[in-house]
Chain A
Amino acid sequence: MTTDTTDSDGASGAAAAGADSAADVPNRITEQFENIKRTRRRRALGWTGLLAFLAFATLQAFAATELLNPDARLETFTDSLTGFFPITNYFGVIPFLDFGQYIEFIRQENLLYDPEIGGLLFQFPPNPVDIYAFFFRELGIFQIFGEAGITLAMGFVGTVLGFPFALVFGTLGSERVTPFPFNFIFRGTMSFIRAIPAIIWTLIFIPFLGLGPASAAIAIAFDTIGNLGRLFVDELEEIEDGPIEAMRTTGASKPQIVFFGMLSQVRTAFIAWTLYIFEINVRIGVTVGVIGAGGLGYVLTSQQNLLRFTNMMATLLAIFLLIISVELFSQRLRSRLRSDDVEMGIWELVTGFPRRMADSMLK
């Protein structure tokens, strides 16, 4: 196709020019023009070949995934979808999505809020004994969010426990810190950890801590070492030599050169990556919940087993809310870390919001 267009374009162009001054076009120009035409034709052939190969490979992959003659049951699927989206008739006539059923399940199963724990904090008049109990006896900061809190806590604990190891492994895995063959001890360890998904690590830790959030949190911590450590290694490849040399000339010791010359260059980036991994870890917290480790993932899979699709959808909504909140929080924090602006105080963050919102809308 491409070749054709070029050809006809070129031909017509040459014809038009030829009408005026065919004799004027010097040889080297026509020669170069022919050259370009040949190159383009060759390139077009190459692309066509590549596309054909890609199509062929895709066909093979379809066959391997049994998508060529799938065991499709469209009716069952539509049935389940109606389960996902229960319809009710408002005022008896207007059909509308029945949100009430979702909310009922979310409340009944404490998906987003645990009233037993939350009641300690929110009561009027405030009771200092209960508030003390909330923070220090029940340790309720995460538990107040019910099942979502458990999932969130799994991601949080995983990130906190994994971070120091990721820092050590990532730093020692960098070629600038550990000379070439030896840094692969650390990089290799991280590759091995990464090769096994968090959900499998959970299975491995079940004999140790039992099936529950504990083994899930440890599994996520393990996963964090592999993934966050890898990001740290990559980030350390990008740093500049200047500050390292400067620290060398001050006569600093090797660990001091690593800390002042290297790590201080990537501090912001490391914090930002850690927040990013925290986002991902909360998501992994949902996944490992599915095999029974608790939290929203576990609720999801039990409702699926009972074929209660409406409840499943309610859980999905809770998951959506949790993930979006975590992402919003972490992204705002990251962009604030990376920007050179003077940081805003909490008060200004809250009171200045309407003005900033208006500014953004007018842009």
Chain B
Amino acid sequence: MTYIEVDGLTKRFGDTVALDDVSFEVPAGEFVIVLGVSGSGKSTLLRTLSGLLSPTEGEILIDGEPMVEPRPEVAMIFQQHNIIGDMTAYSNSLSGGVHRSGFLSSVLQLQDEGEKHRALDALDTVGLLDEAEQKARRMSGGQQQRVGIARALVQQPNVLLADEPVASLDPGSAQSVMDYLRTASDDRDLTTFCSLHQVNIARKFGHRFIGLRDGEKVFDGYRDDLTIDVIDDLYGDIDTEGMFVRDDGDADVPTDEVATS
């Protein structure tokens, strides 16, 4: 069953064409990785999917409804996490669900108990239950990103969009954040879009891959189709050796959980 349908999506900023006639269909529950070099249109694609940007041409249907403005069932995770540094991890997590409560009750944190348990449950999912009372500003980059994931989960979305969630993290934290993202997505049966730079992480975590170059879709396929030639094509002339980890290589080595904080 098709859940997300993108048809002829084009986005222009003035003369710059960020997305050029991109079309694809994604069934519910897939974990899609969007690949491409900087400036290839990954961010624009995700931001348009989230409703933060509106398409110049074409249409995005999520659950049959056109995406024209942000909706609670589509959550987004950002590279710079965009959580609120002055608030605790718990308050940040709780702020994902404010669309379900009125202004005063959300400001004074007077939501019902179920809502608050949901926020703690989301923090538990990303392994931060014990740090719930910590100020977000005092947390490490990886922890802050996980708070961002928790906030997105409290939103109770059907679709999770992650715009380079691990680009500013060290390799260890990147691994663990991706692990949490993947687990959350599987457990809650979310359709997930995640844009990435790192090809080896992409191969390790993705079901399906969409490759962008200069705003055009140049690749769309599943794990087995993602060959070294495809990567070469995506990343152009740069030396891709070492970016590509084969299945018999260390891609299946257990995640290094140590370097998360």
Contact = CB atoms under 8 A, between A and B. Distances in A.
B52 A256 contact: no
Given A256-B98, A260-B95, A250 B103 contact: no
A249 B97 CA distance: 11
A253 B103 CA distance: 8
Interface of A: 240, 242-243, 245-253, 255-256, 259-260, 264-265, 267-268, 340
Interface residues of B, number: 34
Name which of B85, B98, B106, B151 has the most chain A CB atoms within 10 A of its CB.
B98
A246 B51 CA distance: 11
Contacts of B151: 246, 250
B72 interface: yes
B99 A253 contact: yes
B132 interface: no
A250 to B, nearest CB: 5
B86 A267 contact: yes
Nearest to A252: B98
B78 interface: yes
Nearest to B107: A259
Contacts, number: 77
CB-based closest 6 A-B pairs: A251-B72, A242-B82, A251-B99, A246-B82, A249-B76, A255-B103
Contact of A250 (B86, B87, B98): B98
A243 B75 contact: no
Contacts of B86: 264-265, 267-268
Contacts of A267: 86
Interface string B69-104: 011111110101111111100000001111100010
A252 B99 contact: yes
A264 B50 CA distance: 23
B84 A250 contact: no
Nearest to A260: B95
Contacts of B85: 265
A243 B99 CA distance: 15
A242 B81 CA distance: 8
A248 B73 CA distance: 12
Contacts of B50: 249
Nearest to B69: A248
B168 to A, nearest CB: 12
B223 interface: no
A264 B87 contact: yes
Contacts of B246: none
A9 B83 CA distance: 58
A267 B136 CA distance: 14
A248 B76 CA distance: 10
27 contacts: A240-B82, A242-B81, A243-B82, A243-B84, A245-B78, A246-B76, A246-B78, A248-B52, A249-B74, A249-B76, A249-B161, A250-B70, A250-B72, A250-B75, A250-B96, A250-B98, A251-B73, A252-B98, A256-B98, A256-B103, A259-B103, A259-B106, A260-B106, A264-B86, A265-B85, A265-B86, A340-B137
A135 to B, nearest CB: 29
A258 B72 CA distance: 17
B155 interface: yes
B106 A256 contact: yes
A340 B99 CA distance: 31
